A and B are shown apart, each in its own frame.
Chain A
Amino acid sequence: MKRLTLVLTLVLITAVAFSIKITMTSGGVGKELEVLKKQIQMFNQIYPDIKVEIIPMPDSSTQRHDLYVTYFAAKQPDPVVLMLDVIWPAEFAPFLEDLTKYKDYFALDRFLPGTVKSVTVNGKIVAIPWFTDAGLLYYRKDLLKKYGYDHPPRTWSELVEMAQKISKAEGIEGFVWQGAKYEGLVCDFMEYLWSFGGDVLDDNGKVVIDKGDAAVKALQFMKDLIYKYKISPEGVTTYMEEDARRLFQNGKAVFMRNWPYAWSLLNSPDSPVRGKVGVTVLPMGPGGRHAATLGGWVLGINKYASKEQKDAAIKLIRFLTSYHQELYKAVNAGQNPTRKYVYQDSSLEKAAPFMVKLFNVFINALPRPRVANYTDVSDIIQRYVHAVLTNQMDPQTAVKKMAKELRWTLGQ
């Protein structure tokens, strides 16, 4: 009996002495936080000695960015595990633990290649993709059918034609998207640009936005959606995701460009368009390709954390990005898996059929320019694209100026 007490005490002491606490940042959009807390409970069944404390972050991505800047500038060891927007790894790379040697431990070859690309900075892996996003086209199945269309638009000109006809007859808007001056505008612009056959940077990072006329045509097309075809309200120049979704969800628009998160909201019990919505890949441009911007969030480790904390963090990230946990997150929080094979799981097909159906969109989603000073690149694009959309500049001048400023910023 005495011996047993001794052993138990020793076990307890070791457990306490070797238990470690790590902090992790997380968003709190929808069911995100609730789901993560459950996942941490499951994690603790395997690793009872790692205590994870969640630090909720503000909803705005820019505010999260600025918080990280303050943490890093202060060389804080906390938070240990960092939830990062897919556009930040290059900028924050100097503060992130190099995970290249754990490539196989995380099984990165089983992830969507675009997401792996986004966490690779100068050949080094600095974070692990957690969930992904891609721009999608939402459409009103019922209205398309009513006006004799048996399939969603495959090209932008088809979309314009359908939207004009239906919106005029129904007295609603044709096509809503994100045209306010913020990061979302860059995502939308990139999709038009790619589908018209252009790009901002080439594979070597050289500015090519003014090569050929794709950028001018894409910008002209965006502008025409508002002023010439009149299928988008002038108000899109002030819309973010939620502005567009609210209009569409209230039955006030035929088409909408948005992220996957809108799907479950559009089909919630109190939604006026429940069951009437279809979702598909964004239309092709004259460039002959469909294009979707890659979004999503990745998990990195703070370089200033202690060795023990980093080891614990690696275990936590491995757990959260495992097959079963990605499936759990996709089914319960509606966030897209970054692992390829999860898309073949029958339980995902049951919970979120569109994710499985649109696998091709997610695997082909393209990242925005991957440069350390992406915030500057984004700022330049936002300013000039918005100036065109609000009739303050013509597309030719905008592309010329954009190219000049981009070259200057990137030192070319």
Chain B
Amino acid sequence: MILPAILVISVIAFFPLFETFYDSFYSFSLRPGSVKRFVGLMNYERLMEDPRFIAALKHTVFFTVVSVFFETVLGILMAVVVHQKFPLRGLVRAAMLVPWAIPTAVSSQMWRWMFHDQFGIVSKWWVKLGIISPGTPILGRPSLAMWAIIFVDVWKTTPFMAILILAALQVIPEELYEAARIDGANAVQRFFKITIPLILPTIGVALIFRTLDALRVFDVVYVMTRGAVGTETLAVYNRHVLMGRAFTGNWFGYGSAISVAIFVIISIFAVIYMKSLRLKFD
């Protein structure tokens, strides 16, 4: 049973990964007749000197750290709330998942309209609350656009975090809390001494999922700003290199190098999580 599994994984996962690695050492394009030229590490040296890549890297890491932080904190809170018994709990749990269920391209477009300077509902509220002055284009301001994108991502993926954590909450035996209560632990102590340690492995897995997703974020940025006003992420830049320059110049190897860079950054984050949360996967 293991052999077919390995075979399938190697075909659908390792082969493209290996090919991308391989391509990143070459200079070529997808134009017919383009000759693949081995250039060693040149594409990677170029990456280090590409201001657009460096900027995109910064934007991506900022987006990832901030959005995943809020998603985790809010996700835990949300999970704890829906873990309680209250009327219509099943309905609330289902409704909670709605943002997660809408395709990102659709919900991003929806939010783009809500951020519209003239008839956007969010703009209207923010003006009323005094956060922005009337007529401010939220997605056209360098200081605001990235936060708006993060806001949408948090709105969309917090439910995913919550559902994962809720599953972990449900397997914590009630006796533990009872014992703690008898020993005189208050609610805050019970939360930090029992709940958090027991859901930590799940949070770790959820963090890896979310971080991985956030580091290759594309659709929400592409639909809302196309990478304008300091929101260009690595994946958005990479689309331009791989698709926009597929047949011109010799950029395909360079685009592959960007893909490898995204892969490496994701791996670094994954290792940090695994080490710091002492996760074991075997």
Contacts and interface: CB of A to CB of B under 8 A. Distances in A.
Interface string A345-383: 000000000000000000000000000110110010000
A235 interface: yes
B116 interface: yes
B248 A91 contact: yes
B235 to A, nearest CB: 13
A264 interface: no
B46 to A, nearest CB: 13
Interface string A27-39: 0000000000000
Contact of B116 (A95, A235, A392): A235
For the residues of B in contact with A, the DSSP-based class is: loop
A373 B245 CA distance: 7
Interface of B: 30-33, 115-119, 135-137, 139-142, 225-229, 239-240, 243-249
Given A181-B225, A235-B117, A390-B228, A379 B247 contact: no
Sort A-B residue pairs by CB-CB distance and give the 7 closest, nearest first: A235-B117, A181-B228, A375-B244, A237-B140, A373-B248, A235-B137, A238-B140
A91 B247 contact: yes
B130 to A, nearest CB: 18
24 contacts: A69-B246, A69-B247, A72-B30, A95-B32, A95-B247, A181-B225, A181-B227, A181-B228, A233-B118, A234-B117, A234-B135, A234-B136, A235-B140, A237-B228, A238-B117, A246-B119, A372-B248, A375-B244, A376-B244, A379-B244, A390-B141, A390-B228, A390-B229, A392-B229
Given A66-B243, A234-B136, A180 B228 contact: yes
Contact of A235 (B30, B33, B135, B245): B135
- Size category of the A interface is 20 to 34
Contacts of A238: 115-117, 137, 139-140, 225
Given A94-B33, A243-B116, 9 more contacts: A65-B243, A95-B247, A233-B135, A234-B137, A235-B116, A235-B118, A247-B118, A375-B244, A390-B142
A255 interface: no
B116 A182 contact: no
Given A234-B140, A247-B118, A72 B247 contact: yes
A233 to B, nearest CB: 6
Nearest to B31: A94
Contacts of A181: 225-229
A6 interface: no
A182 B141 CA distance: 16
B118 A69 contact: no
Contacts of A175: none
Given A181-B228, A234-B117, A252-B118, A94 B32 contact: yes
Nearest to B224: A238
Given A65-B243, A91-B247, A375-B245, A237 B226 contact: no
Given A234-B117, A390-B228, A94 B136 contact: no
A131 interface: no
Contacts of B239: 66
A73 interface: yes
Given A234-B140, A373-B245, A373-B248, A73 B30 contact: yes
Nearest to A371: B248
Interface in A186-240: 233-235, 237-238
A385 B209 CA distance: 37
Contacts of A180: 140, 226, 228
A373 B241 CA distance: 11
B230 to A, nearest CB: 8
Contact of A233 (B115, B117, B225, B245): B117
Interface string A132-149: 000000000000000000
A182 B135 CA distance: 21
Contacts of A390: 140-142, 228-229
A245 interface: no
A222 to B, nearest CB: 14
Between B118, B136, B142, B249, the greatest number of chain A beta carbons within 10 A of the residue's beta carbon is seen for: B118
A257 interface: no
A308 to B, nearest CB: 22
Contacts of B32: 94-95
A92 interface: yes
